[in-house]
Chain A
Amino acid sequence: MADSALKASIFQRLHPRAYLERFVAESVRPDGRPFDAWRDVSVNVGSISTANGSALVRLGETTIVCGVKAEIAEPELDAPDQGFLVPNIDLPALCSPKFKPGPPSDEAQVLSDRLNEVLSSYQHITSENGLTTCSRTASSPLQMLKTPVSFSFGVFDATLLADPTAFEEPLLDTTISVVVDENGDLVSVVQLGPGVDTGAADTLSTCISSAKTRRVVLGGQIP
Chain B
Amino acid sequence: MALDRRRINGPEESFPPIFDSDALQWKVGDARKDRSPADIRPIFLQPGLISQANGSAYIETAKTKIACAVYGPRQSKNTAYSEMGRLNVEVKFTPFSCIRRRAPMRDAEDRSIAVAIHQALVSSVRLELLPKSTIDIFVTIIESDGLDGCVASGSVAASTALADAGIELLGLVTSCAASVVGKEIWLDPTEEEGRLSKGTLVLSCMPALKKVTSVWQTGEMKVAEALGCMDACQEKCTEIHSVVAQALLESAKI
Do A and B come into direct contact in the complex, CB within 8 Å? yes
**Cα(A70)–Cα(B138), bound, Å:** 27
From B8, B67, B68, B96, contact of A69 by CB (8 A): B96
Which residues of A have CB within 8 Å of B92? 92, 94
A168 to chain B, nearest CB (A): 14
By beta carbon, the residue of chain B nearest A70 is B17
With contacts defined as CB atoms under 8 Å apart, how many contacts are there between chain A and chain B in the complex?
112
By the criterion CB–CB under 8 Å, are A71 and B52 in contact?
A: no
By the criterion CB–CB under 8 Å, are B15 and A50 in contact?
A: no
By the criterion CB–CB under 8 Å, are A109 and B11 in contact?
A: no
By the criterion CB–CB under 8 Å, are B90 and A93 in contact?
A: yes
Q: Does A74 contact B (CB under 8 A)?
A: yes
By the criterion CB–CB under 8 Å, are A97 and B138 in contact?
A: no
Chain B: how many interface residues by the 8 Å CB criterion?
45
By the criterion CB–CB under 8 Å, are B95 and A94 in contact?
A: no
Which residues of B have CB within 8 Å of A73? 10-11, 13-15
Which residues of A have CB within 8 Å of B139? 94
Q: A73-B15, A134-B19 are in contact. Are A50 and B96 (CB under 8 A)?
A: yes
From B6, B14, B144, contact of A71 by CB (8 A): B14
**Cα(A116)–Cα(B21), bound, Å:** 35
By the criterion CB–CB under 8 Å, are B140 and A134 in contact?
A: no
Q: A71-B101, A94-B69 are in contact. Are A88 and B7 (CB under 8 A)?
A: yes
The B contact surface, by secondary structure, is: loop
By the criterion CB–CB under 8 Å, are B7 and A104 in contact?
A: yes
By the criterion CB–CB under 8 Å, are A166 and B52 in contact?
A: yes
Q: Does A16 contact B (CB under 8 A)?
A: no
The A contact surface, by secondary structure, is: loop
Measured CB to CB, the residues of B under 8 A from A are 6-11, 13-22, 49-53, 63, 65, 67-69, 71, 90, 92, 94-99, 101, 104, 136, 138-140, 142-145
Q: Return 26 A-B CB contacts under 8 Å, by A number.
A: A48-B142, A50-B63, A50-B97, A50-B145, A51-B143, A61-B51, A65-B94, A65-B142, A69-B95, A69-B96, A73-B10, A74-B11, A74-B13, A86-B8, A90-B94, A94-B67, A94-B92, A95-B52, A101-B90, A101-B138, A103-B6, A108-B6, A116-B8, A134-B19, A135-B19, A166-B52
